[in-house]
Structure 1
């Protein structure tokens, strides 16, 4: 019945205003199939309804069944239907015991979840709902595996969320580790977004770490599809002195005529033209005009 849309809706409606005897009867029919229903197209909606209306003792039974086998629990989190039901679960978990049980099971597959479309939604929901201490292992994993996560299609987005929602200490550790690998990440198809995001924070200590890595590499970075975006971000977020260094490095390149015709560097030069002021602006303008003549 649960795996058919019509009957699933019927059972969900039955949970509204049922008497205790009917409630127990439906619950006993559900509890032995919790894992199966959580990943079912229609069954996951019934589980969400059950979790909304069931008693505390029934709710604890559901939680214990789900976390009994951490491997199965992670599989549910990774499932396109299961992820919805688990996120509903997160919204209901409230006691210290419940949070502890949930997070212990989640901990067994946290990296796998962070690198998955559905799993990353579960991790994001945890960071939004639970406190810093409960989420500590998530931030520890993010810091320890930051390169793998930053260079992943889904991981790079989650990492930015981690940076935003971390404590001051967690933030410093994570950002420091990422910035230490700034030159590599800037050239990666996903990692470049993480570096751009960090640059937008305009933290002077971060900029001071980035500059020595990028210095002498701006021409190479500007000619690449992904890192050219990072160079543009540097021009928009760096101070005047550091912007001058970037621009001087570009315009003093012997083959500047080739650079200005490059499909990626061309955009970098345009950004330099927009952000530069005074004599520096004149230098960009004159050099560009000289080449185009």
Structure 2
């Protein structure tokens, strides 16, 4: 663990991971690996020694590279300790500059029970994470790579909060993606919120909200786009009038 947290040591540990991966391939070729963890292999010894500090390694500037190398090179059964640690501390890991990258690598992995559990934990905290400088990237990644059920859960979580999330720097990016990925029913609810006469002017004038409005217009049905445009028109006229004075 200490070596993984060190500038020079991390390179050595990453090399050990590479050697373990080669060892696993040899075992598989010889018919010695059956897809289940074995306490005697080099990979098992390495991952068992790192497991107690997995969450710390995920957010460390040097340790995260070791974790990402493990996710990239070793078979799933040797990576499960990473998924378990991240799921248990998903709020902290996802809001960290290095941790968010580790989570994205976890989401790149094939479907498994551990991956599904991690996704559920992210979805549970999606409203909180999307308002964070790094957490928003994790939520966007869920929207990009996860299944319809998980995407739908994220999109449902922002109903009733679209206006306020649209004018925040980080969550506005998530809102644009939600507009693209949501179901027609949810998009209709989004458009109703965005078309609110008491909200639309603020959105149009906001440096982040205006992009959400533009995205809404690009994905809306004809009827929805007309409704949103009609809500915008009085404010466009007022802005044009103000600009001519």
TM-score category of the 2 structures, normalised to the smaller one: 0.7 to 0.9
Larger radius of gyration: 1
| 1:238 is the counterpart of 2:182 | yes
Does the residue aligned with 1:108 lie in a helix, a strand or coil?
helix
Does the residue aligned with 2:14 lie in a helix, a strand or coil?
helix
Query: Structure 2 vs 1, CA of residues 84 and 202 (structure 1 numbering), >3 Å: closer, same or farther?
Result: closer
| 1:89 is the counterpart of 2:33 | no
Deviation at 1:186, TM superposition (A): 1.1
Query: Which residue, out of 153, 161, 164, partners 1:209?
Result: 153
Counterparts of 2:212 and 2:174 in 1: how far apart (Å)?
A: 9
Counterpart in the other structure of 2:33: none
Query: Which residue, out of 72, 94, 100, partners 1:150?
Result: 94
In the alignment, is the contact (CA less than 8 A) between 2:152 and 2:182 conserved in 1?
A: no
Deviation at 1:259, TM superposition (A): 2.1
Report 1 or 2 for greater relative contact order, CA contacts < 8 Å, sequence distance ≥ 6.
2
TM-score, normalised relative to structure 2? 0.84
Query: Structure 2 vs 1, CA of residues 227 and 251 (structure 1 numbering), >3 Å: closer, same or farther?
Result: same
CA RMSD, Structure 1 to Structure 2 (Å) = 1.6
| 1:110 is the counterpart of 2:54 | yes
- In the alignment, structure 2 segments of 5+ residues that lack a partner are 25-39, 238-245
Count of aligned positions = 220
Query: Structure 2 vs 1, CA of residues 285 and 76 (structure 1 numbering), >3 Å: closer, same or farther?
Result: same
In the alignment, is the contact (CA less than 8 A) between 1:231 and 1:268 conserved in 2?
A: yes
In the alignment, is the contact (CA less than 8 A) between 2:155 and 2:182 conserved in 1?
A: no
Does the residue aligned with 1:231 lie in a helix, a strand or coil?
helix
Which runs of structure 2 are paired with 1:190-201 in the superposition (5 Å)? 190-201=134-145
- In the alignment, structure 1 segments of 5+ residues that lack a partner are 1-73
Deviation at 1:108, TM superposition (A): 3.0
- CA displacement, residues 101-140 of structure 1 (integer Å, 9 cap, x when unaligned): 2122212321111001211110111112211221111111
TM-score, normalised relative to structure 1? 0.71
